[in-house]
Amino acid sequence: MSDQRTSADSDSPLRARGTQCAALVIAWAIVGVPAGWGVAQTVRKSVPLFTAPAASHAATQPGASR
């Protein structure tokens, strides 16, 4: 009986730590997922800056190395 109580007592801090760890992961995921989606959308939108100018510049200056 006394052994059982000791085991339960030692389990509860571990359980609390596990619960808090799970809460941390969930909380950060709730804000991280939409933030990541927003960043990904912005990066996708930024691509033309590094592709379109080069293409149009090359078109206006044939043979230019830049």
Partner 1 sequence: MGSASFLGKEASVAPAGYNRWLVPPAALAIHLSIGQVYAYSVFKLPLTQVLAVKGQTGDWTQGQVAVMFSIAIAVLGLSTAIFGGWLERAGPRMAMFVAAICFGSGFLVSALGVKTHQIWLIYLGYGVVGGVGLGLGYLAPVATLIRWFPDRPGMATGLAIMGFGGGGMIGSPLAINLMQHFRSPHSVGAAEAMVAMGIIYFCFMMFGVFTVRIPAPDWKPAGWTPAAKSSAMITTGNVPAKAAMRTPQFYLQWLVLCTNTTAGIGILEQASPMIQEMFRGRVFEAAAGGFVGILSLFNMAGRFFWSSTSDYIGRKATFMTFFLLGIALYALVPSTAANKWDSILLFVAMCGVLISMYGGGFATLPAYVRDLFGAKDFGPIYGRLLTAWSVAGVAGPLLVNYIRRYRIDHGVSPADAYSTVLYVMSGILAIGFIANLLIRPVSGKAYGQGRMSEAAALGAGRMPLPVDPNTPAR
**Residue 65 backbone phi and psi in degrees, to 5:** -75, -25
Instruction: Indicate which single residue of 46, 62, 64, 65 sits in contact with partner 1 (rule: CB under 8 A).
Output: 46
Q: Does 34 bind partner 1 (CB under 8 A)?
A: yes
37 sits near partner 1 (criterion: CB under 8 A)? yes
Q: Could you tell me if 57 and 66 are in contact, meaning their C-beta atoms sit under 8 angstroms apart?
A: yes
**Nearest residue to 66 via CA among 50, 51, 54:** 54
**Rule CB under 8 A: which residues touch partner 1?**
16, 20, 23-24, 27-28, 30-31, 34-35, 37-39, 41-43, 45-50, 52-53, 56-57, 60
